Each structure stands twice: as C-alpha cells, then as structure tokens.
Chains A and B, each alone.
Chain A
Amino acid sequence: AQTIHQWPVAEIKAVGSPLSLGCTIKGKSSPNLYWYWQATGGTLQQLFYSITVGQVESVVQLNLSASRPKDDQFILSTEKLLLSHSGFYLCAWSPPGELYFGPGTRLTVL
C-alpha cells in the first residue's frame, strides 16, 4: 500500500525567513506528485505538480518553488516567507482523476 508522509507537521516562522517543506511517498514508483495550499477555512489551490524526477510545473505564482530531487520526494520551499504564505500545505499523489493526500503541514507566518 502507498503511504505519503509530510514534514514537519507544523511550523511557526517569521516573515522573511526561509522555508522548506518535505513530502515522500512510499510504495508507488514514478507517481504524479502535487503541492496544494489551503487557506484557513478555504478551498484547495494547486501550487505545483511533478510527473517525474527533476520536472516540476508551476500552477500559480506565490513566491514559492518546488523541486523533485528523487522519485519519491517532493520539496516545497521559499527563501523569504510572506504573511500570505500561512495556511495548510498538502502533498498528494495521483492515479487518474483522484488524489491521495498526505497529512499536511500547518504553517503560521508571523
């Protein structure tokens, strides 16, 4: 069975500080991987997707970047956090038309 892990579980960071969020998936080779962002009480916004190692497509511009250094790993990062980056970050993998989400990372930017 596939399992998806995210780290850290939660972060409290200062405006202007760097950020790195991680996601790994086990039990699935060459998965399509996604980063989603969810504002408190809001819907989900797709940020990035990746269909293979080293290839990442950006969906929206939020002063964030993503990388896929390994087949099972997806990283979300920024060098300078903004207040608007606060929210819930979810990693997911996808067979056609479905998404299986990780547990998420709660980010608070102060």
Chain B
Amino acid sequence: GEQVEQRPPHLSVREGDSAIIICTYTDSATAYFSWYKQEAGAGLQLLMSVLSNVDRKEEQGLTVLLNKKDKRLSLNLTAAHPGDSAVYFCAVSATSSGQKLVFGQGTILKVYL
C-alpha cells in the first residue's frame, strides 16, 4: 500500500526565513495531496490541497509543489513567523473519496525571534 515519508521531523527557523517540508510517496496513482497544521492540543487544520494535475499552488505565504516524476510533495512557508510554530502533516490519497488518506509522520516546526 501507499507509504509516505516526511522530513525533517524537526525544523527550527528564524522569523522571516523560509521553512521547507518534504514528503515522498510511493503510489503513482496518488491523486490528492494535502497539508495540515496541528497546534498544541488541537485538531488538524487543512492548509492547502492540490490535485495531481497541479504542479504548484500558492496561498497566503504558503507554496505547495508537486513533483509527480519523483513522487515528492513539498510545503514552503515563506517568511515564517512565530504563529507558524506547530506540527505539520502531509497527507495523500489515491482515491477520489479520500477514504484512504495516508499521513506523513509530521514535522515539528519552531519559529524563533
């Protein structure tokens, strides 16, 4: 079945710098890709999702890149600020219903002043 590897597990960046998180997946039939943010003690918040026909998507300081050839998905937080400190998860799905969403291991991001 689908396997997702996420790295790095921990990431510390200075305020204003960019932070990049990468996920690789194994199933070439993967159709849906998404990123989630989890703040301490809270549920997950959907940040952005893309379909397999999208290579790049930008929204509100976030950039998602999808490289289908290398089966790699990345999230770039440009100009990170302390409020971005959280755990970030990628998730992928090979089905249109999302019934089998597979999550990465998570990246703990800390943004310091």
**Taking the complex as formed, is B103 at the interface, i.e. its CB lies under 8 A from any CB of chain A?**
yes
Q: Which A residues between 55 and 110 are near B, CB-CB below 8 angstroms?
A: 57, 90, 92, 94-104, 106
- Which secondary structure dominates chain A's binding surface? strand
Which residue of A46, A94, A101 is within 8 Å of B44 (Cβ)? A101
A97 with B31, Cβ < 8 A, contacts A43-B104, A44-B103, A46-B100 known: yes
- A interface footprint on B31-60 (CB within 8 Å = 1, 0 otherwise): 111101000011111100101000000000
**A102 and B43: CB pair below 8 A?**
yes
Q: Which B residues between 13 and 38 are near A, CB-CB below 8 angstroms?
A: 31-34, 36
Q: Could you tell me the distance between the alpha carbons of A51 and B100 in the complex, rounded to whole angstroms?
A: 13
**B93 and A97: CB pair below 8 A?**
yes
**Number of inter-chain CB pairs below 8 Å:** 65
How close is A56's CB to chain B, nearest CB, in angstroms? 12
Q: Could you tell me the distance between the alpha carbons of A100 and B98 in the complex, rounded to whole angstroms?
A: 11
Which residue of A97, A101, A106 is within 8 Å of B96 (Cβ)? A97
**Taking the complex as formed, is B91 at the interface, i.e. its CB lies under 8 A from any CB of chain A?**
yes
**A43 and B44: CB pair below 8 A?**
no
How close is B7's CB to chain A, nearest CB, in angstroms? 13
A46 with B32, Cβ < 8 A, contacts A90-B44, A97-B96 known: no
B-side contacts of A98, CB under 8 Å: 32, 34, 46, 49, 98
